Amino acid sequence: MARVQISGTGLFTPKESISNEELVSSFNKFVDEYNESNKESIQKGEISALEKSNADFIEKASGVKSRYVQDKSGILDTSFMRPKLRERSENELSNLAEIGSIAGQDAISNAKIDPNNIDAVIVACSNLERPYPAIAIEIQNELGIKGFAYDMNVACSSATFGIQNIYDMIKSGSIRSAIMINPEMCSGHLNFKDRDCHFIFGDVATAVVLEELKEEQVSDNCYEVLGTKLLTEFSNNIRNNYGFLNNSSPEGIGKADKLFHQNGRKVFKEVVPKVASLIKDHLESHSIDINNIKGMYLHQANESMNKLISKYLLGFEADQSLAPIVLDEYANTSSAGSIIAFHKNNENLSKNDLAIICSFGAGYSIGNVIVKKIA
């Protein structure tokens, strides 16, 4: 069986960002407008008044301070409250292919690989812009990559599941290398009118180049993939019912369940022990002591959640150098979160250090990747 390395990662960060204060100010203006225009129904008890949001609550409950977005003005406009994106013609790059290609190009440069030597492209993300042709094939075309490409979706765990796909293909010898791309335009599935979740997500794209590991060809900042472990377990606590069959049930079109919605408290309680137990089992199966892990690049949904996972595993809360947090700046970027944390912080690792990249979320789905810095 071939050995596998991560030879480069890439990141695209949108130019615009929204602070909690800006987001809450727009949300609260929307609440005032809604309550005023529905005054009579609210007074008659026919509908409830909406409650205001609070920037301090958001930071305390989640750790999020700001988020990057592809269109700030549409989101903050109380008459629109979603990113305003120009409809693109079929001759133009799609939104996801555009940001995914930039992240992909960054990963290709960092891996110092010729696109001609990449055998496959996998786009792994939570929300695909259209059913076909695959966004991955569009990016393959844009980056001049031969071979094959396809899209896959495992919600917040898409990146680790994508890495396992590529890892298995390289190990078996069906390909020698591939690039995985995670274009996450989470502002598009976020309900900016919902106080419980309007603050959660941001936009970003990440990319990872994986190649067959040949000792004589290892360049700087490369990581051997020692193993992957995946788990899914059905839960209704995180859902998005948007899909192609909505058109056949017109009574549901435009309803709030066609966007992201969750029972955040239940997710927190149920997912933390499952993640800790999967990481523990995975490390034990490789005879690795958790105390020898020098980098824990965890999914970026909630800061307290990550601290609790590290406490379950280590007996203490990991600090920023061991389990870096990027959600304060990026918010939850779904599958891209753990890859951003890895991309921005792996220079802290030394040769032979062991680390994990772990994601978790809707499904439920959990994926863990053990890596070792080899150069």
Binding residues vs ligand COA (CB under 6 A): 53-54, 57-58, 61-62, 156, 195-196, 238, 262, 264-265, 267-268, 301-302, 305, 332, 361-362
In the complex with ligand COA, the residue whose CB is nearer, 53 or 228, is 53
Is 197 an active-site residue?
no
Instruction: Enumerate residues 6+ apart whose C-beta is below 8 A from 297.
Output: 323, 324, 338, 339, 341, 342, 345, 346, 355, 356, 357, 358
**Is residue 3 a contact partner of residue 215, using CB atoms and an 8 Å limit?**
no
What's the closest the beta carbon of residue 230 comes to ligand COA, in angstroms?
A: 16
Query: Torsions phi, psi of 302, nearest 5?
Result: -155, 125
From the list 156, 197, 222, 358, the catalytic residue is: 156
Q: Are 218 and 173 in contact (CB under 8 A)?
A: no
Beta pairing partners, 301: none
231 phi and psi angles, rounded to 5 deg:
-150, 140
Nearer to ligand COA, 6 or 50 (CB): 50
The secondary element (H helix, E strand) that includes residue 365 is: strand 365-373
User: How many other CB atoms are there within 10 angstroms of residue 292's CB atom?
Assistant: 9
Nearest distance from C-beta of residue 263 to ligand COA, angstroms? 8
CA atoms of 37 and 31, how far apart (whole Å): 10
Which residue do the tokens 């990249």 mark? 357
Query: DSSP alpha helices (H): ranges in the chain?
Result: 20-37, 39-43, 55-62, 72-76, 95-111, 135-143, 158-172, 264-285, 303-314, 327-330, 337-345
**Contacts of residue 255, Cβ cutoff 8 Å, sequence gap at least 6:** none
Residue 25: helix, strand or coil by DSSP? helix
CA distance 355 to 344: 14
Q: For residue 81, is it left (φ>0), alpha (ψ between -120 and 50) or beta?
A: left
Active-site annotation, residues: 156
